[in-house]
Amino acid sequence: MEVDNIKLYIDGRWELTDLNVLTRVYIQLYGLLYSLDIAEDYLDAEIQYIYGKYPWRGGFSAVNFYQNLFSKMPRDYRPTIKAIQYASPGFIELSQLVDVAKDVAQIVGYVSAAILAGNKTYSVIHKGMSERKLMRLNLRSEELSLLEKEKDFIHKSVVEISSLMGIKKETLAKLYFRNENNELAVLKILASLYRRARDLAELQNKKKLDLQRAHIERSSTNNQRQSDS
């Protein structure tokens, strides 16, 4: 697994609240995607336990879910600040897993490119879950018998929300595996992922943040090296 210094480009006038959103949300997305795409075999049982531990009834459960996933990550793979330059433009340079950082940037890029349509899709899904009383359903309880008649809505919602975030097929497959094919759990996690990606997408659309630029530059440099060799 490749670890490298990757810049999160920033611009414009930043408030402390913007910085809080960036740092808090970025590590949540990073930790989740690490657990699905990269995580070492020796951590598999512990990560699987975390996925099964929370009933996903919102709020406190979701926050602790992300915190627990991030805490299981080896320290060498956690984003570490290497440099900060606050200017217009500036950057925050982090040592991090290249593939995970790239996945975070891709999801945020998808959401920022079609945020109005994405918010509309999310609102329809959220309303549908609320009307069907799926929001507060305990995923480990006997209430699961109520899900049978709602499975078409749940499946369609998973397809729509994963598509609007550009979730890779292999990532989605691993999410199903982690949740033992409980599609409502998959939907709830994807919905929480969208809400977090949207926070960073809004910073991008305000021209305060650019997560894609560093990966475009890396790709261009690698292509040039291959061309020169």
Lowest mean pLDDT, pick from 3-7, 53-57, 88-92: 53-57
Q: Give pLDDT tens digits for 161-198.
A: 999 999 999 999 999 999 989 888 899 999 999 999 99
Which residue carries 């627990």 as its tokens?
A: 68
Q: Among the listed ranges 12-26, 54-68, 179-193, which one has the minimum average pLDDT value?
A: 54-68
- For tokens 């598509």, name the residue: 163
H helix or E strand, kind and range, residue 172: helix 169-178
- Provide the edge-to-edge strand list for the sheet that holds 80-85: 80-85, 90-97, 3-10, 209-210
Q: What tokens does 10 get?
A: 């920033």
Which pLDDT value is given to residue 71? Answer: 93
Structure confidence by residue, pLDDT tens digits, 74-116: 999 999 999 999 988 999 999 999 999 999 999 999 999 999 9
Q: Are 91 and 9 in contact (CB under 8 A)?
A: yes
Task: Give residue 162's pLDDT.
Answer: 97
DSSP lists the bridge partners of residue 178 as none
Computed over every residue of the chain, the mean pLDDT equals 90
Q: Any idea where the domains of the chain sit in the sequence?
A: 3-214
